[in-house]
Amino acid sequence: MQRLFITILFSMLIISCDGADTVKEKTKLLSINDISETAWQNLSQKKIYFGHQSVGENIIDGIHKIMDSNDSIKINIKETIDLDSFDVPVFAHTSIGKNGDPVSKISNFRDNLKKGIGNKVDIAFLKLCFWDIRKDTNVENVFKNYKETVENLQIQYPNTKFIHLTVPLMSYSTEITTMIKRIIGKQINSDIDNIRRNELNRLIINEYRGKEPIFDIALFESTLPDGTQKYFSSNGKQYNYLLSEYTDDGGHLNEKARLQIAKQLLITLANLK
């Protein structure tokens, strides 16, 4: 009887593992080579402000590495909110708010723009962190705060283009103990954390898709270089997760992911009208 139970459990684990990494439709990823020299030159003349924390630093690192190997992309990247830095073209970035407190990041981003940056920049955007959105987060309230803040900033700074970023994800645990817990119906906090992040991301995409620019970090974190996109399922719904190929600690971006996501951000910026 015990042997039969172990056999059944092992079979269920195999099925569960397969179901946790199901292939979706392919996503077309643009290449740096798809962008014209003129578009890169235009981007180099922009004044940009990016508020973020650690995953943002990963992306900035990726941009530096891309520029090291591509002479067409010349961007003046500086960590600053000093107003004099915005008298010339610049891709300025700073840490904002406190991890675990998404409203503090939204407020800090708003306050930085109101100190004078908003009157100078062509493009502005902020990025929340995977640690800001977890199982107990009220994603509707976070989205409401974000939406109202950005709408007010758009009124105050009509010449600034705001980009909406989805929230980065964390990886999907395939440890045996975790898989067993899933099978017997126990709650996995890391799964619910990712579900909450997906819920907020869907609110962002549904609100702005086709109307205002979106940079979907979560999509790129769950998409392989060949365009294959993956997800995990829970209660009949599909949720993206950070691929294990893209992280060494389950949340931050490794070298491969830094380059991929930085590349897609640069392409998004170069294509802005």
**Confidence tier at 234 by pLDDT (50, 70, 90):** confident
Statement: residue 1 has pLDDT above 90: no
Rounded CA-CA distance 169/195 in Å is 9
Lowest mean pLDDT segment, chosen from 17-26, 118-127, 209-218: 17-26
**Confidence tier at 3 by pLDDT (50, 70, 90):** low
Rounded CA-CA distance 142/106 in Å is 9
pTM to 2 decimal places: 0.90
**Are the CB atoms for 141 and 246 separated by under 8 Å?**
no
Please give the structure tokens belonging to residue 90. 């610049």
Rounded CA-CA distance 39/49 in Å is 19
CA angle 58, 53, 160 (to 5 degrees): 100
Note the pLDDT tens digit of each residue in 148-171. 999 999 999 999 999 999 999 999
Lowest mean pLDDT segment, chosen from 9-18, 66-75, 180-189, 228-237: 9-18
**Confidence tier at 28 by pLDDT (50, 70, 90):** confident
Tell me which residue has tokens 């977890």. Answer: 134
Name all domains of the chain by residue range, CATH numbers in brackets.
31-270 (3.40.50.1110)
pLDDT at 24: 64
> What phi-psi label fits residue 29: left (phi over 0), alpha (psi between -120 and 50 degrees) or beta?
beta
How high is the mean pLDDT of the chain?
A: 90
State phi, psi for 229 to the nearest 5 degrees.
-105, 145
pLDDT at 185: 65
Rounded CA-CA distance 121/136 in Å is 35
